[in-house]
Amino acid sequence: MPSLDLNGIEVNFPYEPYSCQVDYMKSVLESIIKRKNAILESPTGTGKTLCLLCSSISWLIAAKADMQFATIQRELEDVDPMRPNLINKSGINDQSENGKKLSYPKIIYASRTHSQLTQVIKELKMTQYKDIKTCAIGSRDQLCINPQVNQQKSYTTKLNMCKAKVNAKTCYFYNNVENILPELKTMTTVDIEDLNAFGNKHKCCPYYTARNLKEGADILFMPYNYLLDKKLRKSNNIDMNNTVVIFDEAHNVERVCEDSASAELSITDIASAMQEIGFILEEMKNMPDEESNFREEDPNDLENIGNSLANMPATLEEMKDILLILKSFEEELDNIKLQGQDGLTKPTSYLFELLGKCNVNFDRRAYLMDIIQRLLQYFGTQPPSPKHHNGVSLGKFENFLQTVLSDNSVSDDGSGDISKKIKKISQYYKVHIKNDNMKGKTLYFWCLCPGYSMQDLLAEGARCIILTSGTLSPISTFKEEMKIPFDVVLENPHIIKENQIKVLSLNKGPDNTILSSKYTNRDSENYVKSLGESICSFCKIVPHGVLVFFPSYRALESALDAWRKTNLWKKLGDLKSIFVESKGSKECNDTVVKYYEKIKDKRSNGAIMFAVCRGKISEGIDFNDNNGRAVIVTGLPFPLYTDPRVILKRQYLDENKTSSGTLWYNQQTYRAVNQAIGRVIRHKNDYGAILLCDERFSQMSSISQLPGWMRGHIKKMNDYNLALDELGKFFNVAVEKFPIIPKIPSLQSNVSYVQAQGHTSQQKGKNDMMVDIYSGYSSQNPSSMCCESNSSCGNSNNFYEALGQSGSSRSNCEANQLGACSRDQNSDENNFKLILQKRKMEEAKNGKCRVVIKDTVTVTETKSEKLNDSKALLQKISNMLSKEDYQTFKVALSNFYTAKKNSDNDKKIKYYKILRSLFSKNLEFFAEIEKFIQFTGVLKEKQQADSDDNQIKKSINLKRKIDDCI
């Protein structure tokens, strides 16, 4: 594992880094050490996450050591001349800055979703820093295991019920957290899955376990709305003092900043909240009173009334106060006159005046919040009922007041002058009222500046803020929107080569119809048909998985409906299995899983996924290798021009001269395109095509908005047939040049074992073999390695059986392969050595290490399964080829293997070309020959086999042989 000296910090990286990775880590360290905010753009596949983790954790280790060193020196009153150099390396000058005591530094790593964070933590576990203490912060939705709480549909209900059970100490899982505190000290790298597994094993609450782990953790992982929403930040007790804040996948951070500081309340919500409070008042009314059955001389009656009153969450006066506020607010909202569907926009001062009439202001905030929270906790103790809905609407009212009456440091200068505070808030907000078909008249309190939340985060003591993503361009306007300085800026190039990417911009379809998804054209019958025919042609050429992105759900549904009415839908289905993105999260995840399965299915021609820019498929889901060989973008996903929030945002930017409203509008469009494009090319050995099917992509104004690494690859295609030729040539080369190399199984499991030639010993009480690998390497007797020929030979037999070849042909093939096994015996030892060298060995002591090999991934199928697959595929090919061509195909394949047996490379290439030519007559056969090549290995035998690929294959075969021996 290479050790790098970057900016004076020792960084341990898992492998020799690329120059762009070194530049990236230097920028991260510069930001942290010098306390400067950073914007870092690095394309997908450049190892951004690994660079972030290794560089930031290396600094953290150095910083903690420097602070401990400073503390010891201060206690000993010993001035060491080396101290300034040691301290300045990490940028930690002392334990206090600007008169404020510094806490030990921490890192908060935030991304968009929990699934993205899970992937980050998996990468962390593969580094030398895997033992650093981490904790994932999640909500009760992800972490609650109490069955009664979990069955509630509303998160507000879950929250209130959980709080009520915790306060009453009636949750067994929460009560058990204290019992497992000693075991928490042994937990290091922890994600959401680990917390749930730990909670289920020990019958303790994962949510409160995480809160305990958080205090001692060096890194906190959380979705970035937990960090940007001040309410969530407070509820999770997140201390920002001396914290390095990293926002990964930060292209969405602008909108999350605005959404977390915004709120809405409908007249329906207000009416429901009044009904919920009315339920509690009804409960109080039904209590016995002094004038009914109360008997003063009976002490039991006195006790019952006292207990009933004690169980009430608030006094009668307090509840009437909240009820009166809600009623007044409802009347004020109802009296607002709206004209048309556009609604009414007002300055922020209008909302504070309206709230003032209802007796709601900053001075009464704490009083009102206290009452509402007590009422919500009371609802948490009640069984679900349509009479109160467990306080869901009252919770919305609480959230609205918390947002409007926020104590954001940007608006609060500490003077206590409320008028100045409201004036400051007005610079960032607008109020909009409109009729909603479902909720009735609704009041929106919209934050129009992401810098409002970002400035507040920095003001709470964050050491620095790092925003990073693969798609942040153009960075200049991104910086302006954040309202905080960014002194460290990096735009990294991609690490892929020119022959790994093909970017084509198409202006016309196969019938010369202009491809344009403009609003006025997207429903045109000719355009929709031409687009569908184009996609069909691409699917004949592109192997495996294809992703097609539309500008909106409406455009997607409109096009699919039109294709279903014609034979286009059937043509697409014959070429590839069809999947369509669902709007719901669970349904979408299920669709993606089925799509992956279809790509892996050897009997399939691949799959096509129809999705939407800004949808779930376009962000955060990995379509590496065969899962995504091409991305087709059918248009520009402009935000809805008439949306009130979009209109107000553009006006806000124009009025404040921060940026141009029109420029912002266009940039939102291309950021969505860039995210969709990022689904292809997921690592340095990946390859794929990007097909931009809208004439506007050919304009320089559009090209300038695309990622910098991609601009040099764009080729404008005015001739549709030439575009198909370009695409076909690209995949012909890429498929051969970048084969998918199977991964060698991990050596970190005790599922099965391999014994190398050398001395072995059994650990007492364990199943691990301790192997002296050096002794094994020095052995000069390869024959001592026992192997059975059946374990690895005959891989191609099933094709001969499917083709009806003679037994002699099969035996010749077997003999050839057995001979190869014998000839390769001398290299087997080196192959096994290669496996061991490629993996980090654990518990290395005195030249010995534990060698434990996990159950291997399925390298070959059973004979019957493979024979059935082969027959099915050959039947398809037989149907597609003429009788004469199919006979040529069988003869060429047989001659190819004869040439292979005789090691005649010239003939191998000759017969390979014959096989290839049979399928080049019609592009429709391309996917089939691609699939067949995967079965037979023809492609990899065309010329000299790739040495690394062959070595890995031999290593896997050797492992199987040894397993059979054992």
Q: Is 764 exposed, middle or buried (0-12, 13-18, 19+ CB in 10 A)?
A: exposed
Specify the 3-state DSSP secondary structure of 4.
strand
**Residue 756: burial class (beta carbons within 10 Å; 0-12, 13-18, 19+):** buried
pLDDT of res. 416: 76
Q: Please work out, in degrees rounded to the nearest 5, the angle formed at the alpha carbon of residue 875 by the alpha carbons of 872 and 879.
A: 145
The span from the CA of 494 to the CA of 422, in Å, is 47
Return the SS3 of 514.
strand
Beta strands in 551-705 (DSSP E): 577-580, 607-612, 630-633, 688-692
Q: Residue 922: left (phi > 0), alpha (psi -120 to 50), or beta? A: beta
Q: Are the CB atoms for 134 and 190 separated by under 8 Å? A: yes
**Residues 111-135: tens digit of each pLDDT:** 988 888 888 998 898 888 988 999 9
Is residue 745 within 8 A of residue 856, CB to CB? The reply is: yes
d(CA 107, CA 53): 10
Task: Answer whether 177's CB lies under 8 Å from 205's CB.
Answer: yes
Amino acid letter for position 521: N
Q: Do the Cβ atoms of 958 and 832 come closer than 8 Å?
A: yes
Q: What interhelical angle do 267-285 and 316-334 show, nearest 10?
A: 150
Please say whether the beta carbons of 513 and 552 come within 8 A.
Answer: no
Closest CA to 244 of 89, 32, 512, 526: 32
d(CA 813, CA 936): 13
Nearest to 14 by CA among 157, 109, 130: 130
What ranges make up the beta strands (E) of 416-572?
429-436, 440-447, 464-469, 488-491, 501-506, 545-550
What is the C-alpha to C-alpha distance for residues 673 and 671, in angstroms, rounded to an integer? Answer: 5
Q: Report the distance separating Cα 828 and Cα 957, nearest Å.
A: 10
User: What are the extents of the domains in the chain?
Assistant: 259-288+310-409+418-449, 501-737, 880-949
pLDDT of residue 792: 35
Q: Both tokens of residue 383?
A: 């069984």
Q: DSSP state, 361? A: -
State which H helix or E strand residue 531 sits in: helix 525-541
SS3 content of the chain, % helix, strand, coil (to 5): 55, 15, 35
The C-alpha atoms of residue 411 and residue 413 are separated, in whole angstroms, by 6
**881: which DSSP letter?**
S
For residue 901, give both structure tokens: 């047996």
Phi, psi of 762 (to 5 degrees): -100, 130
Please name the residues in contact with 620: beta carbons below 8 A apart, sequence gap of 6 or more: 112, 113, 115, 116, 249
8 A C-beta contact, residue 398 and residue 372: yes
Q: Are 445 and 266 in contact (CB under 8 A)?
A: no
Distance CA 629, CA 446 (A): 40
pTM over 0.85: no
Cα 709 to the chain's mean position, in Å?
22
pLDDT digits (tens, 9 = 90+) for 765-807: 333 333 332 333 333 333 333 333 333 333 333 433 444 433 3
Per-position b or e across 59-90, b if 16+ CB within 10 A of its CB: bbbbbbebbebbeeeeeeeeeeeeeeebbebb
- The helix/strand/coil state of 802 is helix
Cβ neighbors of 409 (< 8 A, separation 6 or more) are 455, 456, 459, 460
Provide the residue count of the chain.
966
Residue 141: name the closest of 117, 116, 181, 114 by CA: 114
- How far apart (Å, rounded) are the C-alpha atoms in residues 535 and 515? 12
Question: Tokens 């340095």 belong to which residue?
Answer: 684
User: What one-character-per-residue DSSP string does 582-645 give?
Assistant: -SSHHHHHHHHHHHHHHHH-TTS--EEEEEETTSSTTSS----GGG-SEEEE-S-----TT-HH
Quick one: tokens of 939?
């492609």
| φ and ψ at residue 228, rounded to 5 degrees | -85, -25
Beta strands 96-97 and 488-491, pairing class: unpaired
DSSP structure class, residue 723:
H
160, 394, 403 from 315: Cα distances, Å: 19, 17, 26
User: Any bridge partners for residue 442, and if so which?
Assistant: 266, 434
Ranges of the chain whose pLDDT falls below 70 = 1, 72-88, 93-102, 286-311, 385-389, 620, 658, 741-876, 879-880, 912, 916, 919-966
Which whole-number Å values give the CA distances from 14 to 4, 130, 152, 581, 902, in the listed order? 11, 12, 44, 36, 42
- Do residues 515 and 693 touch, judged by C-beta distance below 8 A? yes
Structurally, at CATH architecture level, domain 501-737 sits in 3-Layer(aba) Sandwich (3.40)
d(CA 15, CA 22): 12
Instruction: Locate 891 and state its tokens.
Output: 């003869």
Phi and psi angles of residue 25, each rounded to the nearest 5 degrees, phi first: -65, -35
Q: Are 43 and 100 in contact (CB under 8 A)?
A: no
Residue type at 138? Answer: G
Contact 503, 709 (CB under 8 A): no
Rounded-to-integer distance, Cα 518 and Cα 8, Å: 53
Query: Do 666 and 705 form a contact (C-beta atoms < 8 A)?
Result: yes
